[in-house]
Amino acid sequence: MSTSIRNLFSAKDISAELAHKIFKVARSLEVSLKNQTALSVLSGKTCVNLFFENSTRTRMSFELAIRKLGGNVLNFTAGSSSTQKGETLIDTAKNIEAMRPHALIVRHSSGGSPYVLSKYVSIPIVNAGDGFHQHPTQALLDAFTMLSHFGSLEGKKVLILGDIAHSRVARSNIDLLKTLGAKIIVCGPPTLMPPEPKALGVEVALRPEDVLSSVDVVMALRMQLERQNSMQIPSLGEYTAIWGLSVEREALLKNEAIILHPGPINRGVEISPEVADGRRSVILDQVFNGVLIRMAVLTWILKPEEFEKWAK
Ligand code: CP
């Protein structure tokens, strides 16, 4: 495998310098996206969305990002593919590579699968979410959204609330936000916490009420019932009563605090509809920023010289 290809497997791999370059390129692409201007930086390049799990935001924003940069995209959907006839992940990726695309964007339920695939194919791989493990472009778009509000994340306090144990969004955000100087607090039911949360370099709060008045950002996480072996909380109603981001809990926040959620939202479970649609919510800004960040990441991977010029 060529040593010069660029992959993005984990938010741990993103230095502060690279993150700020990606943010600068994303910012410079904002005008073209808002004006519906088509660019040609990925002209002649084809990317494959290799998604083995469902997705709305990530798959569509990668697709839009590729198209906006003038490239081509193929969408693989596991349910209608030959994986249904027993073809393995590795064989699937090798066969798709044989059609000569320029990059694979991979979502899979097994942590580490994008990295494993990189041992079998010779084109760049972007991790679009692997099991509980990582979702690096989500962390980038979340940090970019926070930076758009605060200018700097140095010393900012971010509360990640909910099902931390099963969340690749939480892990990726913890890694990147620490790199960017933020302080992270995690809070959720003890059964939905990783075994040693403090080992992640975060503070742990027992109840949202203990910290809501001191934080700048609340990131509410979806209850990931599909990743839980059995119901790890007594009931969704009790979860909502104790951990849900309700109107009453929102009222404890500082005036300038903002609320994020990676989506999809379970309205009325981890976040109330009034809060999700309220004045502090930047949830749809996250979605818009996801396109910009993915445009910047794909440029970094497939057109490094252009990326460096734009990042200056
Ligand atoms: N945030 C996120 O990954 O959403 P999708 O599952 O819809 O891609």
Instruction: Name the more confident of 149 and 1.
Output: 149
Residue 88's region, left for phi above 0, alpha for psi from -120 to 50, else beta, is: beta
Across-strand partners of 48?
Answer: 74, 104
Which of 53, 56, 224, when mutated, tests ligand 1's pocket best, judged by the most ligand atoms within 8 Å of its CB? 56
72 CA distance to ligand 1 centroid (A)?
21
Q: Ligand 1: distance of its center to the CA of 154 in Å?
A: 27
Ligand 1, atom nearest to 129 Cα: 3
In Å, how far from its chain's centre is CA 2? Answer: 27
Predicted pLDDT at 34? 84
CB of 56 sitting under 6 A from ligand 1: yes
Range 173-179 average pLDDT = 98
Q: Is the CB of 226 under 6 A from ligand 1?
A: no
Segment 190-210, tens digit of pLDDT: 999 998 988 999 999 999 999
Buried b (16+ CB within 10 A) or exposed e, 128-146: bbbbbbbbbbbbbbbbbbb
For 56-65, write each residue's pLDDT tens digit. Answer: 999 999 999 9
Determine which residue's CA is closest to atom 5 belonging to ligand 1.
Answer: 55
What pLDDT band is residue 3 in, cutting at 50, 70 and 90? low
**Which pLDDT score is estimated for 2?**
44
- C-alpha of residue 128 to centroid of ligand 1, in Å: 9
% of the chain surpassing 90 pLDDT: 89
Q: If you write DSSP's letter for every residue of 193-225 in order, what string do you get?
A: S-S-GGGGT-EEESSGGGTGGG-SEEEE----G
Cα–ligand 1 centroid distance for 57 (angstroms)? 5
**Residue 177, pLDDT above cutoff 80:** yes
Query: Is pLDDT of 1 > 60?
Result: no
pLDDT at 73: 98
User: 82 CB less than 6 Å from ligand 1?
Assistant: no
Averaged pLDDT of the chain:
95
What's the mean pLDDT in 105-134?
98
Instruction: Read off the pLDDT of residues 233-267 as tens digits, 9 standing for 90 and up.
Output: 878 889 999 999 999 999 999 999 999 999 999 99
Q: Which atom of ligand 1 is nearest to the CA of 135?
A: 3
Q: Is the pLDDT of residue 145 over 70?
A: yes
- The band of 169, judged by pLDDT with boundaries at 50, 70 and 90, is very high
| Span 64-112, pLDDT tens digits | 999 999 999 999 989 889 999 999 999 999 999 999 999 999 999 999 9
